Amino acid sequence: MKQLKERFDALSDAIVAIVMTILVLEIAVPATTKELPYLLEEIALFLVSFVIIINFWYRRFQAMRATETTTFRTFVMDVIAHAILSLYPLATKMLVEFNIKWIAIIFFGGINLATAFLINRMTYELAMQTIKNLVDKDDERIHMLNDWLKRRTLVSLISDIVMMLIALCFNTVGVYIYILTPFLEFIGNFKRGRVMEVAFHEGQTFKEIVEHRAAVENLQERHENIKQRQQIHRQEVAERHAEHQKRHSKNHKSKKH
C-alpha cells in the first residue's frame, strides 16, 4: 500500500492543479468597461474556490504525513473526496448565479459536508493506524487520541450543518456568510500550521504534536467538568441550607404557638 499512497499523492497534486487551472480559464475577459463588475465577481468566485481547494489540500497533506502507508479503505475515501472536490467550482457559482437559492445552498452544503467528513475520517483512520503499529503503545494515550479525533469530527460536522441552516434561513446574507467560512478555515489552518512548524523545528514528531493537542483539549475539558461539578455542589449546598433555614423557621413558629 506504500506504493499506492505515493502514486495517489502525485495524482492528487495533479487533480488539484487541473481544477485550479480550470477555475482560472473560466474567468471571462471583459470586452468593455461595463463588464468590469462582472469580472470582479468572477475573480471573487475564483478566490473562494481556490481557498476551498487549498484548505482541502492542506488538511490532506497533514493527514498523509502521519504515515508512510495507507489502507484500501482510506484510499477509497480519498478517491471519493477528490471526485467531490472537483464539483466545488460549480457549487460556488450556483450560490451566486442560480435563481433558486435553497437548492444552491444544499448543493454547496452537501459537498462541504461530504469533503469535510471524508478528510476527518481519513485523518482518524491514518492516525490510529500509525499509533497501533508502534511498538511502545500506550493504551491511555491511544484512548485519549481516539476521543479527541472523534470529537473533532463531530464538532466539524455540527458546525457545517449549523452554517448551512443559517444560509438556508437567511438566504442572501446567509449565502455570503457561507462563502466567507472557507477564508476563516484558511486562517485557522495558517495558525495551526505556524504552531506545528515551531514544534517540528523543536524536534517533535507529528504523533507527539497531535497527542499534545489532544492532551491540552482533554485537560481543558476536565477543568470544565470540575467547574461544573463544583457549581452543582454549591447549588446543592445552597438548596440544603435554604431548606434547613425553612425548617428552622417553621419549628421556631410552632414553638411560639
State pLDDT tens for residues 25-45. 878 788 888 888 888 878 887
Report domain extents, the chain. Answer: 2-203, 205-257
Q: How many beta carbons lie within 10 A of that of residue 68, not counting itself?
A: 11
Rounded Cα distance, 233 and 221, in Å: 18
Mean pLDDT over 151-180 rounds to 76
Q: What is the pLDDT of residue 93?
A: 78
Q: What is the pLDDT of residue 193?
A: 64
Using pLDDT thresholds of 50, 70 and 90, give the confidence band for residue 127: confident
Using pLDDT thresholds of 50, 70 and 90, give the confidence band for residue 197: low
Going 104 to 26 to 179 to 174, the CA torsion angle's sign is negative
Mean pLDDT over 164-175 rounds to 74
pTM of the model: 0.67
Contact in structure between 189 and 55 (CB atoms under 8 Å): yes
Residue 5 grid cell: 499512497
Rounded Cα distance, 47 and 121, in Å: 27
Using pLDDT thresholds of 50, 70 and 90, give the confidence band for residue 82: very high
In this predicted structure, the answer to whether residue 179 has a pLDDT above a threshold of 80 is no
Residue 76 grid cell: 477509497
User: What whole-number percentage of the chain has pLDDT above 70?
Assistant: 72
State pLDDT tens for residues 209-218. 555 555 655 6
Our CA angle for 181, 182, 187, nearest 5°, is 95
Q: What is the pLDDT of residue 140?
A: 64
Lowest model confidence (mean pLDDT) among 113-117, 123-127, 188-192, 209-213: 209-213
